Amino acid sequence: MTLPLRPKELDTDFEHDPRYAVANREALVGAGFWLTFTVLISAIAWLIGAHKKASELTFVLGFPAWFFWSCLVATILLSLVPAVLVRRYFTEMPLSADGAPSSEER
């Protein structure tokens, strides 16, 4: 069983909204940050703590060094990055269908 094809004239009534491009760019920035964050945290933990026996582990403030530097310090420092990303790469835009500010935004 095959589905009927849509006529070409039905596709022409779609109006491209420039907010799609902005939303796509912002999604890519967010995904890029997440990927970078995940790789950095994993790399720090692996480089400091991988292949060590329990007797070889060093501790910082009662935490294993790999956990302290990757999960605590790096997470706190990298939590500041989204504020910079939002100010630099994200755009304020209305979400209403006509692009006008809603009554709450006025």
The pLDDT of residue 4:
65
Domain ranges for the chain: 33-90
* Entry pTM: 0.69
pLDDT at position 91 is: 87
Angle value at C-alpha 24, between 19 and 18, nearest 5 degrees: 20
Question: pLDDT digits over 58-95, tens only?
Answer: 899 999 999 999 999 999 999 999 999 999 989 888 87
